[in-house]
Each structure stands twice: as C-alpha cells, then as structure tokens.
C-alpha cells in the first residue's frame, strides 16, 4: 500500500514528493505493516488453537471413556492420552522458543567451544536414534578443523539436532550424514538424508510454523515447529539456511554460519580432567530399567568398566524382582517402558526399598513429572559426562580419573629465512598488521596481508608460505611469532 502511494505520488506529481506527502506515505507504510503483523498473529493463533485442540480432544474423549468404564482397553487409551500429553508438551516448548525469538528476548551466548568434540558429542547423542531405525549416521568432516570456535553451544546444538532428528524421522532406509566444512571462519553444516524428500512447491512453506507436508508427516510424530525455530535461530546467529531436495531421493539442508576463532585460542584451557576410570569406595550396584535393549547395552557398557555391578530389566515385574534380589544402590529407570509406566515402578521401588535407594528417571520427552518417588530426572539423549555427573551426585562417590593426556611438545620451528634489507621495512609493516589482525581474528584480512607480503619479493615467498601453513593449521600463536620475528629483524 505505502509503495503504491509513493508510486502514485511520483506518477501524479512528476516532482519529488513534498515532505508532507512523504510523511503521509511513511505513516501509511507503518499502518500497513502493523495490519499485516496483526493478520499474521491472528493466523498464527488460529493454528495454535487448532494444534492444541486435537490432542486435547483425544485426552478428553479417552478420559471420559475410562471414567464410564466403557474403555475396552484402558491401557491403549492411556497410551493415547500419554502421547497426546507429550504432543502438547512439545508444543508448549516450541511455542516458548518461538515467543522468545519473536519477542527479541533470545540472547545468544558467545563461548569458545571445542569444535571437533562438540560435533562428536552431537553425533553420539543422535546415534542411538538412527540405529533404532537401522540408519547409518555419518559425520563427514575435514581432517583439520579449528580446535575452538566461538558459538552459542546450546542454540547451535538445537539447530543441528532439529535438522538431524528430522532427517532420521523422514528417512526409512540408507543414511543420514552431517557434513561439516570450515573455511575462512565460515562454517557450513550440511545435513543430508536418503529419505522421502520434499516437493519443490513445499520447499518454502515447511519453514513456516505448523506446516507439515505430505502424507508421511501425518504418520510421524512432530508439531511442525522445528524448522520454524531452526530458521529463526540461524537468522539470529547471522547465518542462512537452504534446502535442496527431490521427492523420493532425499533432502539436504545447508546451514552457513560465521564462527570466528578465539584470537588467543584459550591457550591455557581449564586443565582437561582425565577420563573417569573408576570410583573410590565400596562396590556399588546399579539396576538399569529400559525396554530398549540398545540403550541398556550402551549404559551398561559405560558403567561396568568403571567397576559398577550392573543388572538390567526390561519391564516392571523383572525390575522389581531384580531389585529384591540384589538390593541396588542406584536405579536408572526409563519413563516410557512399553506397557509399563516408569513412574509407577519408581513408586513401588521407593515403597519397598526406602530412601536409601537412589532413583534416577530417564526420559526421551519433556514429560510432565509424575509423583515424587524419584530423586532426579535426566533427559535423553544425554551426554555420558552428564550421566556420570548425576551418578556421582546420587551415590556420593568420587571418581578416579586417568592422568590428563600429555600435551605433545611443539615441534621445534626451523630457523626463519631472512628477508632482503630493501623490503624489510614494508614487510615489517605488513607483519605489524598481521599481528594486529591475529589479535582480532580476522582470518580473511590476514590471508590478504600474507599475499601482499609474498608479492614483495621472491625471497619473501618461503616466509609467507610458513605463515600460511601456520594459519591453515590455526596456529595463531606461531603466526604471531613469525610476524614479530620479521619486525624485530627490520628494527
Ligand atoms: P515436524 O518435524 O515437527 O513435523 P518441522 O518444522 O521440523 O516439523 O518440519 C516441517 C515439515 O517439513 C515436516 O513435517 C516434514 O513434512 C518436512 N520435513 C522436514 N525435514 C524433512 C526431511 N529431512 N525430509 C523430508 N521432509 C522433511
């Protein structure tokens, strides 16, 4: 509308618009924008109401059936109610995220994260989910990645988890790959799947809230907020997200973000605690309760080597029997156990074994917590370190750790080739600039300065090559050292 008013003013007047006319057009533009925002909000609220109504109806309907004693199969009714409640819980989580983003209330942290480890942990977190569907989850990354980058780990993880979890959800055969590239501070994450793909006409709307496309989406869990949140987060981080997909052949979501490197890579990172290898004190017994055999095997594989006596059970009855038989110190109990309810098992264990038994619930969903029999709850997927922290907390044990990895001694640097006197002052100026740029971490500008240094004279080329090698391996300390050396020579 405002655009049209301006066009009209231009057309009619032929002259530049008067200040009054321009003010009028600006007001009209502001009013149009407010009206459009209002309409969008109304549409959004209608979608939210619609999304809330269907699970709510299911809960209401099935609860009434059970109440009247008409529910033939109370267990399956309870399952529908649980699933509907889970759906609502997801919805609330998603809406809170969206509200935070839209309200401008989402602030990003900026932390130096260990990049390769961050990626490994992410894959480890989602690997079980992929395995459960018989899919290979692959991390494809260059051999060389910076050890540290600046990012908000929570939000970056949320973006990548959303994309990888979607890829797993919409793929039935083949693989899901997270491909990572890093060049000149630009990180490119590509999540590639061999799944059902997305039709070109849907490629844009899947990023809008509540848009779920194709019949396959209706059969799979989800509320349709994941991509809307993912896109919003990527934009807040100053990045971009793109989709390439062909129906039936798979999808490829690409996220590009500037992730700078700390200028002085935390040269003295908090001393890395060595890996946990055991604990001090008497032998502790742990009972794992989960109907997912793969999950039992993973946690058992984590705890047994540390000296815990581990027993497993896949349902309530065998869990109670095992607990009676060997009196565990700690129980790790999944919330959703097929036909059994983890909360009830926890309550029975508490009644029979009293407060001395520590009970940790494991949940794959943001559940409404039931009862107070348990001591704490961990959300799945969890990082192993978090689980170990929780175990130590509950049992009050102190870990024995391996000695930290000895740091490899830096290779002795070969003597620097010296530069001809004529170019020394200019080279020193370039090097002073390089030193400054190293401090602010402007990699592209450093590359340009190194190029300029190399162009000064053939004798400068080997020196520039060494600087480039240091830059390529992100050895900024060595780079700054070389730059200093040239300046000292010239002085
Ligand atoms: P949800 O996953 O909860 O449905 P999203 O906002 O994450 O919501 O995704 C919106 C829709 O986009 C999905 O319902 C699905 O139709 C489509 N989609 C997302 N990722 C993929 C993928 N990797 N392959 C095929 N379709 C996808």
Q: What is the CATH number of the domain that holds 360?
A: 3.40.50.2300
- Give the chain's count of helices (H) and strands (E): 15, 16
Q: Check pLDDT > 70 for residue 360.
A: yes
Residue 248 pLDDT grade (very low, low, confident, very high; cuts 50, 70, 90): very high
User: DSSP letter at 284?
Assistant: -
Does residue 132 carry a pLDDT above 90?
no
What pLDDT was estimated at residue 333?
94
Calculate how far, in angstroms, residue 220's C-alpha sits from the geometric centre of ligand 1.
10
Residue 349 lies in a domain: yes
Among 279, 276, 299, smallest CA distance to 289 is for: 299
Per DSSP, the three-state class of 246 is: strand
Q: 375 and 332 share a domain?
A: yes
The answer to whether residue 313 scores a pLDDT higher than 80 is yes
In a domain, 271, yes or no: no
- Ligand 1 pocket: which of 93, 101, 166 to mutate (most atoms within 8 A of CB): 166
Centre of ligand 1 from the C-alpha of residue 436, in Å: 45
76 and 212 within one domain: yes
Q: Say what the pLDDT of residue 331 is.
A: 96
Where a domain ends, among 401, 430, 463? 401
How far is ligand 1, taken at its centre, from the CA of residue 212, in Å? 6
Q: Which of 171, 197, 214, 227 to mutate to test the pocket of ligand 1 (most atoms within 8 A of CB)?
A: 227
Which residue shows structure tokens 């080739």? 417
72 and 164 together in one domain: yes
Residue minimizing CA distance to atom 7 of ligand 1: 226
Condensed to tens digits (0 to 9), the pLDDT of residues 316-328 reads 999 999 999 989 9
| Gyration radius from the chain CA atoms | 29
Residue with the two structure tokens 């899919």:
135
CA-wise closest residue to 419 among 367, 445, 363, 458: 458
Q: How many CB atoms lie within 10 A of CB 276?
A: 19
pLDDT digits (tens, 9 = 90+) for 162-178: 999 999 999 999 999 99
pLDDT reading at 8 higher than 80? no
Q: Is residue 286 one of the residues assigned to a domain?
A: yes
Q: Number of structural domains, the chain?
A: 4
Q: How far is the CA of 172 from the centre of ligand 1 (A)?
A: 14
Across 21-28, average pLDDT: 84
Residues 248 and 148 in one domain: yes
- Evaluate whether residue 269 is within a structural domain: no
Q: What is the pTM of this model?
A: 0.50
Asked which of 187-196, 413-422, 450-459 is least confident by mean pLDDT, the reply is 413-422
- How many other C-beta atoms can be found within 10 angstroms of the C-beta atom of residue 237? 18
pLDDT value of position 196: 95
Higher-confidence residue: 422 or 96?
96
Higher pLDDT, 302 or 218: 302
Nearest to 235 by CA among 258, 219, 218: 258
C-alpha 203 – ligand 1 centre gap (Å): 10
Q: Which residue, of 258, 293, 328, is where some domain finishes?
A: 258
Specify the pLDDT at position 198.
95
Q: Cα–Cα distance between 36 and 103 in angstroms, integer?
A: 17
One domain, residues 74 and 95: yes
CB atoms within 10 A of CB 36: 11
pLDDT surpasses 60 at 201? yes
Q: Which atom of ligand 1 is nearest to the CA of 193?
A: 23
Please tell me whether residue 279 adopts helix, strand or coil conformation. Answer: strand
Domain for residue 353, yes or no?
yes
Size (the chain), residues = 491
Give the three-state DSSP class for 304. Answer: helix
Q: What is the mean pLDDT of residues 38-64?
A: 77
Grade residue 5 by pLDDT with cuts at 50, 70 and 90: very low
Please list, in sequence order, all residues whose beta carbon lies within 8 angstroms of the beta carbon of residue 320, skipping any fewer than 6 positions away. Answer: 345, 348, 349, 352
Q: Give the best-scoring range by mean pLDDT among 275-289, 393-407, 454-468.
A: 275-289
Highest mean pLDDT among 111-115, 301-305, 367-371: 111-115
Greater confidence (441 vs 326) lies with: 326
Residues 15 and 54 occupy one common structural domain: no
Which of 38, 107, 69, 480 has the alpha carbon at shortest distance from 265?
480
Query: Residue 273 domain-assigned?
Result: no
Residue 15 Cα distances to 18, 25, 333, angstroms: 8, 15, 77
Tell whether the torsion through CA atoms of 252, 257, 260 and 265 is positive or negative.
negative
Mean pLDDT (whole number) for 151-170: 91
What's the CA-to-centroid distance between 139 and ligand 1, angstroms? 21
CA 463 to chain centre: 40
Indicate the range of 72-76, 186-190, 314-318, 376-380 predicted with least confidence: 72-76
Tokens found for residue 158 = 């949320």
Are 382 and 448 found together in one domain? no
DSSP characters over 25-90:
HHHHHHHHHHHHHHHHHHHHHHHHHHHHHHHHHHHHHHHHHHHTT--S-HHHHHHHHHHHHHHHHH
The arithmetic mean of pLDDT across residues 266-282, rounded, is: 69
Tell which atom from ligand 1 comes closest to the C-alpha of 171: 24
Instruction: Give a yes or no: residue 298 inside a domain.
Output: yes
Mean pLDDT of 108-127: 86
DSSP string, 463-479: HHHHHHHHHHTT-HHHH
Residues touching ligand 1 (Cβ under 6 Å) are: 166-167, 170, 193, 195-198, 206, 211-214, 217, 222-228, 251
* Angstrom distance (rounded) from CA 297 to CA 281: 25
Measured distance CA(443)–CA(11) in Å, rounded: 49
Please provide the average confidence, as pLDDT, over all residues in the chain. 82
Pair (443, 373) in one structural domain: no
Does one domain contain both 231 and 289?
Answer: no
Average pLDDT over residues 467-491: 78
Phi, psi of 8 (to 5 degrees): -60, -45
Mutation test residue for ligand 1: of 217, 221, 249, the one with most atoms within 8 Å of CB = 217
Respond yes or no on whether the N-terminal peptide bond of residue 177 is cis (omega within 30° of 0): no
Which of 206, 213, 243, 250 has most ligand 1 atoms within 8 Å of its beta carbon, as the pocket-test mutant?
206
Q: For residue 411, is it within any domain?
A: no
Backbone angles phi, psi at 400, to 5 degrees: -100, 130
- Shared domain check, 473 and 326: no
Distances (CA, A) of 431 to 291, 421, 423, 441: 62, 15, 12, 14
**Buried-exposed string 448-476: b where 16+ CB fall within 10 A, e elsewhere:** ebbebbbebeeebeebbebbbebbeebeb
Is the domain of 177 the same as that of 97? yes
Specify whether 314 is located in the same domain as 287: yes
- Pinpoint the alpha helices (H) of 177-308: 214-219, 226-236, 293-303
Question: Mean pLDDT: which of 35-49, 83-97, 167-181 is highest?
Answer: 167-181
Q: Determine which residue's CA is closest to atom 14 belonging to ligand 1.
A: 212
pLDDT of the residue at 381: 66
Nearest CA to ligand 1 atom 11: 212
For a pLDDT cut of 90, what percent of the chain falls above it? 30
Ligand 1: nearest atom to the Cα of 213: 16
Write out the residue range of the structural domain in which residue 22 sits. Answer: 2-39
**Which position has the higher pLDDT, 215 or 198?**
198
194, 224, 258: which is the final residue of a domain?
258
Where does the pLDDT of residue 457 fall: very low under 50, low under 70, confident under 90, or very high at 90 and above? confident
């Amino acid at each position: 509308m405002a655009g049209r008013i301006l066009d009209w003013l231009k057309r009619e007047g032929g002259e530049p618009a008067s200040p009054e006319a321009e003010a009028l057009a600006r007001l009209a533009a502001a009013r149009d924008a407010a009206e459009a925002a209002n309409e969008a909000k109304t549409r959004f609220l209608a979608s939210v109401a619609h999304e809330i109504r269907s699970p709510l109806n299911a809960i209401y309907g099935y609860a009434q059936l059970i109440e009247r004693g008409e529910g033939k199969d109370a267990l399956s009714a309870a399952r529908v109610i649980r699933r509907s409640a889970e759906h609502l819980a997801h919805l609330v989580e998603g809406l809170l995220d969206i509200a935070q983003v839209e309200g401008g209330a989402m602030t990003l942290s900026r932390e130096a994260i260990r990049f390769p480890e961050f990626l490994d942990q992410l894959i480890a977190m989602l690997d079980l989910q992929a395995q459960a569907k018989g899919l290979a989850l692959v991390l494809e990354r260059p051999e060389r990645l910076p050890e540290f980058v600046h990012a908000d780990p929570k939000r970056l993880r949320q973006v990548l988890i959303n994309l990888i979890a979607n890829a797993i959800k919409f793929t039935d055969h083949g693989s899901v790959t997270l491909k990572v590239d890093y060049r000149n501070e630009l990180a490119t994450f590509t999540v590639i799947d061999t799944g059902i793909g997305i039709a070109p006409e849907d490629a844009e709307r899947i990023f809008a809230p509540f848009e779920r496309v194709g019949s396959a989406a209706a059969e799979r869990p989800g509320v349709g907020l994941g991509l809307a949140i993912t896109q919003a987060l990527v934009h807040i981080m100053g990045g971009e997200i793109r989709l390439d997909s062909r129906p039936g052949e798979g999808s490829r979501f690409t996220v590009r973000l500037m992730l700078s490197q700390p200028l002085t890579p935390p040269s003295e990172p908090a001393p890395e605690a060595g890996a946990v290898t055991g604990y001090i004190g008497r032998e502790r017994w742990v009972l794992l309760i989960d109907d997912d055999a793969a999950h039992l095997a993973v946690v058992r594989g984590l705890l047994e080597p540390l000296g815990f006596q581990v027993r497993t059970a896949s349902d309530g009855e065998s869990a109670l029997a095992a607990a009676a038989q060997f009196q565990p110190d700690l129980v790790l109990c999944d919330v959703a156990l097929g036909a059994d309810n983890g909360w009830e098992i926890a309550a029975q264990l508490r009644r029979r074994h009293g407060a001395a038994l520590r009970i940790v619930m494991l949940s794959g969903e943001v559940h409404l917590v039931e009862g107070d029999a348990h001591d704490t709850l961990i959300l799945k997927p969890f990082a192993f370190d978090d689980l170990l922290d929780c175990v130590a907390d509950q049992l009050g044990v102190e870990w024995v750790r391996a000695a930290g990895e000895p740091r490899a001694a830096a290779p002795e640097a070969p003597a620097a080739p010296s530069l001809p006197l004529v170019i020394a002052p200019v080279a020193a100026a370039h090097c002073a600039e390089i030193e400054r740029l190293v401090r602010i971490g402007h990699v592209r500008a450093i590359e340009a300065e190194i190029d300029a240094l190399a162009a000064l004279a053939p004798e400068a080329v080997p020196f520039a090559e060494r600087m480039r090698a240091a830059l390529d391996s992100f050895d900024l300390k060595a780079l700054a050292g070389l730059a200093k050396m040239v300046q000292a020579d010239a002085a």
